[in-house]
Structure 1
Amino acid sequence: MVGRWGRGFEPVSELRSLPFARRLAYFDGEFERLRRERRLPASSSARLRALEPLLRRGPSRSPGPRSALAAGALLLLLLLLPGGLLRAGPAARFLSFCGRALLIQVCQKYPTVESVQKVDPKVVLQKYLRQNLPLVITDGAEEWVALRDFTVPFLTRLFSGHPVLQNTIVCSYWDSQDSLEKSPSVFLEKIHHQRLAHWAVQWKNCNKAAAKVIRGFYLRPYFLPAVVELAESNWLLMAAQTENGGTGDPFVKVGDHDGDLLIWIAQLQGGFEVQLLPKDLCANNCTHYTLWLSPGEAVAVPLQMWEVQYRPSSATAIGLAATGNWLQDSR
């Protein structure tokens, strides 16, 4: 049967009956043939330009090269996704491009980051996380002990005196003084004794026992549905504002996500100015967002589209963060 794509196009019913490996091999062959015949854009940016208008406006009534690309993308979604994860190959890569075009569409239509309270976790999953939309939860950390206890003096005593925290090495450590020790307790003591005018430090508690100590000061965020599995590790983010404040302080990125789909940041003391930066090709099509967090508030950010950076918006600011993933459960 000859279809819009060219020679030997199989009916959907016949392709559905094939094993997953055969379906994937068929589409790999078709995409490779289209590429050789120069009927498929060679570069990723050209493919995205071809797909984005179709995904924004819907299918065209008159078939052409672009409508064929969109039809192929939708057919891949229909036929391949039920079979499991895609392996590397032309079809899998093309489907990835389709997903990125959809991300561009999402961020272009999202005018602001919404703020909610007493929100249903199911709403968070369906309306925001699965749509790659960040949101602020104004009551996200209201009941936490850390909201009351986590001050610079308290954390200095905790990390220098707790036997577990004192004897474990942290991960992804960074401070504004480029310290050689890479130790939270040493840096916090330096803040106290040298009375640094402005500073910033962040680290990841990746040791299980150390992360558990910090988890004793906060609860699992109520706004996260049960399907979200949080990482065992957690982050502490701390910074002091320059004398002039705000514009004189550089932004600090939160990295080392380990491929997780989500990060949440809870404000404990002072305030952070948080920027959400669109990733990759989305950066050329979407704006960045700037948020100001107050104590007790939290922001949840899907990491497939956004990168996160922050700086203090008060004399001293302290935040807590963690990452997580969720399974593709039934909706």
Structure 2
Amino acid sequence: MSKQWASSNNGAFKRQVSSFRETISKQHPIYKPAKGRYWLYVSLACPWAHRTLITRALKGLTSVIGCSVVHWHLDEKGWRFLDMGKQLGDENDFLEHWHDAAGGIKTAKDDTSTSFASIKNDSQRFMVDATNEPHYGYQRISDLYYKSDPQYSARFTVPVLWDLETQTIVNNESSDIIRILNSSAFDEFVGEKYKKVDLVPEHLKPEIDAFNSWVYDNINNGVYKTGFAEKAKVYESEATNVFEHLDKVEKILSEKYVDLKAKNGGVDGKQNIFAVGDQLTEADIRLYTTIIRFDPVYVQHFKCNFTTIRDGYPFTHLWLRNLYWNNDAFRYTTDFDHIKLHYTRSHTRINPLGITPLGPKPDILPL
């Protein structure tokens, strides 16, 4: 995810292809599983990075793979860290903070700030706006890219999965990273309950891949194609397409709720319905990171405003709230302040005054 985006002659948004696509496995000649060898660099605002944080938590890898968080404000030089080395004191305190069972993110709140006006783009609140970079003292994500490849010339995106041993980027494609984290590569370092977690079970993989394919193009990336459209005709076409596919998601989830109600004689807030099959899968994670941002950001900022999730999609809304309120890996990796501030302060072509809307209130409704 980057501040600048590519645009074709017809005004349509074009997403950059990721450059680093290695994996981690016992069979790999270089990148073999190890505790403490790999590090994840993320933005709490970015939906693609958010996928990796959720998966890391669900698989019990918060004490195996460390994490650093960039500042929510993306300036003309890209993502940055805080320069807080002198204030940090003890690196072990940092590591302990980011390795808790909820995924290491302790900034989640039931509602966001009552005012954003006093928060400046250059704010330096440690563990609130961002962390430092603890290994090399780097100031920018770009430093990691140049360390990996001095000739690198594309944009500097997150997430980044880094190898501390070879000091290079293993992978910067979120869909690859979540598959790496979900694999059995790190099973020897986690407890038994996490070894049983499989977000891409073999019997559901074809259905998960098919679901991910149309969700990615039409919803995950669809909101960006809508918001970054530079011609009205392109915008109208993309916005219509997003909501046509949200309708498709709603139909899938509504049919599942009807089936559950018929089987159980009712549905309460603790009975989860999932996008594919009858268990939590990668499909839920990849859809969630867009839907959780929809009402707080995409409705107003990207002009995806046919309706909101909470008002127009009752079954998708229930699915979303079940994931958020009933699973710490989703709730405690979701930071609405980072989400709102990033989009509204970083995309100056879309929001030149940099005023961050306070609503909707609350950011997410209770069950």
**Greater relative contact order (Cα 8 A, min sep 6): structure 1 or 2?**
2
Q: TM-score under structure 2 normalisation? A: 0.21
Which is higher, the Rg of structure 1 or of structure 2? 1
Q: TM-score under structure 1 normalisation? A: 0.23
